[in-house]
Structure 1
Amino acid sequence: MARRAVGGTGVKGARRPELRLPALERFEGGGGSGLEPDGDYDGLEFRGADLAGQDGAGARFMDCALAECALDGTRLSRARVLDSVLTGVRGVGTDLAEATLRDVEVTDARLGGTQAHGAVLERVLVRGGKIDFLNLRSARLKDVVFEGCVLVEPDFGGARLERVEFVDCALKGADLTGAVLTDVDLRGAAPLEIARGADRLAGAVISTAQLLDLAPVLAGEMGLRVEG
């Protein structure tokens, strides 16, 4: 189940996930071996688990909760995270390349250098926390909401964003090179800083104040000289 966020005039709002997790069993580490490639994790709670450096590539997480887990260098490429909640996760260099996140809530994450290029995010809510240097190149985002969080130099190069909202969110140094935007609501981003790819903002909605702030960047993209 999902509910649609309220969008402004002329822009379709994102559908947010509505999660109701079942009673969960505590993850015991699979007999001490931790995550396994192509593993199947269903209805589990990972609380305070140190998953740093572990290999869960291709694994499936269904109806799971990850709370206060360490994800430094954790390999989750091509993993599927479905109907799950991540709270207070932290780590540098987490590998989510080509992963699928569907009906997922991420709350108060502290992540840096997360590799999510080629990933698919659908009905995902990222609330609170700070994510530095998020690599979403060539990713597909549909019905994604960034709320009350700080994104530092996120890379959306070549990505497709459809019904994506930024609500009370700081967006610093974003790269939109080659991105395709459809019904993307940037009005709640403060500050809104586009380092590259401002010419790709077609399909987004911004406020009048943001337009004035972006005027020098847009003029530069157009090769427009402003004098006097």
Structure 2
Amino acid sequence: MTNNKNSIKIGSPKIPKKLAEVNNIKDLLEDEYKVSEAIVEDSSVEEVSLKDIVFDAVIFKNVVFENVDFRRIDITDVIFENCDLSNNDFSGAVLHRVSFKNCKLVGSNLSEGTFRNVSFNDSNCQYISFSFSDLKEVIFDNCNLKGSELGSCKFSKVYIEDCYLVEANLSQTKLKGIDLTSCDISKIIVGIEDLLGLIVTPMQALSLTSLLGIVIK
């Protein structure tokens, strides 16, 4: 069975119509541990710790995050659009109804996180790590996931459409019901025991036979 992306429904970020414009997150966080109902545009956030901070109903648009500590951050109803979040540490983060649109997350660490109703669209996620994360109702649509770490994860209603998964590591992640027919899975790393129920094309299935030690003449 092939998933139709137009039929996939997950919870979208709930953003109020009126948002406060924020120019400097550092100033805002001097006395607060929560950023809510705000929009941050056309700026950069550098050398700041957002560890254990709460983001609620926030839009980030055209924002570059550099050397930012996002560890254990709680992100709910947030949109990241045209943002660069590369090489930042989100380990242990909790994301609920979060959207990444046309973002760059190269080398970002999202390991040991909890993801609920999260979408990644048209984003560069090369070498991103989700190791040991719990993903439920998560969409990856038209993303570059080359060399990504998706191993030792728990998947529930995870949809991966039109993605580049070359050299991605999905070992020790149960893939039952996951449809990769629209993806490039060349040189994918996965355990034999995790392939049960994985949905692939005949050609993809042929390429996976090497995992069984089968030689085709």
TM-score (normalised: structure 2)? 0.88
Instruction: Provide the residue aligned with 1:29 in structure 2.
Output: 24
> What residue ranges of structure 1 are gaps of 5+ in the alignment?
1-6
Give the conservation status (yes or no) of the 8 Å contact 1:114–1:134.
yes
Q: How many residues align?
A: 212
RMSD between aligned alpha carbons? 2.3
Q: Bigger CA drift: 124-133 or 203-212?
A: 203-212
Instruction: Provide the residue aligned with 1:195 in structure 2.
Output: 188
Deviations 1:173-200 (A, max 9, x none): 11122223343222221x1135322422
Report the Cα distance in structure 1 between the residues aligned to 2:15 and 2:131, rounded to whole angstroms.
31
Deviations 1:129-162 (A, max 9, x none): 2112111110011111100111121101211111
Report the Cα distance in structure 2 between the residues aligned to 1:225 and 1:182, rounded to whole angstroms.
22
Seq. identity, %: 17
Query: How far apart are 1:37 and its partner, in Å?
Result: 10
Deviations 1:83-119 (A, max 9, x none): 1111011143111001011111110011221011101
Q: Which amino acid aligns with 2:24?
A: G
Give the conservation status (yes or no) of the 8 Å contact 2:120–2:140.
yes
Give the conservation status (yes or no) of the 8 Å contact 2:33–2:54.
yes
Q: Which amino acid aligns with 2:66?
A: D
Query: How far apart are 1:34 and its partner, in Å?
Result: 6.0
Report the Cα distance in structure 1 between the residues aligned to 2:39 and 2:216, rounded to whole angstroms.
60
Instruction: Provide the residue aligned with 1:127 in structure 2.
Output: 121
Which SS does the other structure have where 2:24 is aligned?
coil
Instruction: Provide the residue aligned with 1:155 in structure 2.
Output: 149
TM-score (normalised: structure 1)? 0.84
User: Larger % of strand: which?
Assistant: 1
Q: Does 1:62 align with 2:51?
A: no
Instruction: Provide the residue aligned with 2:206 in structure 1.
Output: 212
Report the Cα distance in structure 2 between the residues aligned to 1:59 and 1:104, rounded to whole angstroms.
15
Give the conservation status (yes or no) of the 8 Å contact 2:23–2:43.
no
For residues 1-228 of structure 1, the aligned pairs below 5 Å read 8=2, 15-22=9-16, 23-29=18-24, 33=27, 35=29, 39-189=33-183, 191-199=184-192, 200-216=194-210, 218-219=211-212, 224-226=213-215, 228=217
Distance 1:209 1:38, change over 3 A: farther
Query: How far apart are 1:225 and its partner, in Å?
Result: 4.1
> What residue ranges of structure 2 are gaps of 5+ in the alignment?
none
